[in-house]
């Protein structure tokens, strides 16, 4: 497979199904940001963390490729002329959302209660997790904007929302595992 095709040299790219759009198109921004998120999650996975979390993050990375494929397919190209779906892959399901919720619930059982907002940081691994959380929120914002133009599978929107929550809880878990103090945000009084 050749990496360079030269077809994007004029600032356009092809969506799944062949439609060409500008490289700054909101659809490209949405799945490009999901790809960026996937890379950040890979960075977390490459840290010295527990095996279970590594497995969950690998699972999430696979699901983010699914999200990217869904976002790269315009609604008018989802169904082929023969009536079959263009994307012959499992979609994002409620089970995937439930998995994230279950993981958060399990993590929260061992964490001290959260009484304040916490400042991101304390350890490089924790900071990587907070960066991934922020990129996930951006992916969610861009995808909801795309959803205003062309309907996106509601499970994709829910998944991105829940994933950013999971990444926040994971950052707290990593702080706990690494014995890093969470720095509480204390607003300055006037």
Query: What does the pLDDT read at residue 35?
Result: 97
| Domain CATH for 144 | 1.20.1200.10
For the cut 70, the answer to whether the pLDDT of residue 188 exceeds it is yes
Task: Please report, in angstroms and rounded to a whole number, the separation of the first and last CA atoms in the chain.
Answer: 62
For the cut 80, the answer to whether the pLDDT of residue 2 exceeds it is no
pLDDT tens-digit series, residues 47-77:
999 999 999 999 999 999 999 999 998 776 6
Query: What does the pLDDT read at residue 4?
Result: 78
For the cut 90, the answer to whether the pLDDT of residue 7 exceeds it is no
Would 188 be classed as within a structural domain? no
Would 2 be classed as within a structural domain? no
Would 18 be classed as within a structural domain? yes
Query: What does the pLDDT read at residue 80?
Result: 62
pLDDT category at 81 given cuts 50, 70, 90 is: low
Would 190 be classed as within a structural domain? no
pLDDT category at 184 given cuts 50, 70, 90 is: confident
Distances (CA, A) of 144 to 101, 148, 152: 21, 7, 8
Residues facing residue 14 across a β-bridge: 20
Would 69 be classed as within a structural domain? yes
State the residue for tokens 């929302």: 161
Question: Sign of dihedral through CA atoms 120, 126, 130, 133?
Answer: negative
Number of domains in the chain: 1
Would 187 be classed as within a structural domain? no
Q: What pTM did the predictor assign?
A: 0.90
Domain containing residue 143: 13-77+91-179
Q: Which two tokens stand for residue 185?
A: 């945000």
Query: What does the pLDDT read at residue 74?
Result: 79
Of 138, 156, 128, 163, the closest CA to residue 40 belongs to 128
Answer whether 187's CB lies under 8 Å from 178's CB.
no
What's the rounded mean pLDDT across residues 91-98? 96
State the residue for tokens 């599978």: 153
pLDDT tens-digit series, residues 111-167:
999 888 898 999 999 999 999 999 999 999 999 999 999 999 999 999 999 999 999
Which parts of the chain fold into alpha helices (H)?
A: 26-45, 51-71, 94-110, 124-149, 154-177
Would 7 be classed as within a structural domain? no
Q: Measured between alpha carbons, how far is 56 from 60 in angstroms, rounded to an integer?
A: 6
Instruction: Please state, rounded to an integer, the average pLDDT across all residues of the chain.
Output: 90
Would 153 be classed as within a structural domain? yes
């Amino acid at each position: 497979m050749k990496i360079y095709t030269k077809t994007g040299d004029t600032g356009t790219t092809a969506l799944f199904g062949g439609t060409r759009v500008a490289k700054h198109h909101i659809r490209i921004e949405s799945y490009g940001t999901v790809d960026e998120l996937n890379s950040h999650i890979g960075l977390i996975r490459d840290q010295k963390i527990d095996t279970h979390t590594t497995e969950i993050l690998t699972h999430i990375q696979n699901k983010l490729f699914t999200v990217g494929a869904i976002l790269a397919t315009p609604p008018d190209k989802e169904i082929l002329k023969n009536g079959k779906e263009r994307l012959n892959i499992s979609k994002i399901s409620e089970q995937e959302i439930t998995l994230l919720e279950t993981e958060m619930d399990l993590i929260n059982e061992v964490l001290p209660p959260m009484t304040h907002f916490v400042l991101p940081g304390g350890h490089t691994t924790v900071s990587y997790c907070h960066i991934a959380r922020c990129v996930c929120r951006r992916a969610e914002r861009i995808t909801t904007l795309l959803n205003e133009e062309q309907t996106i599978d509601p499970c994709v929107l829910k998944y991105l929302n829940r994933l950013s929550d999971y990444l926040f809880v994971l950052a707290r878990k990593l702080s706990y595992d690494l014995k890093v103090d969470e720095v509480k945000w204390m607003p300055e009084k006037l």
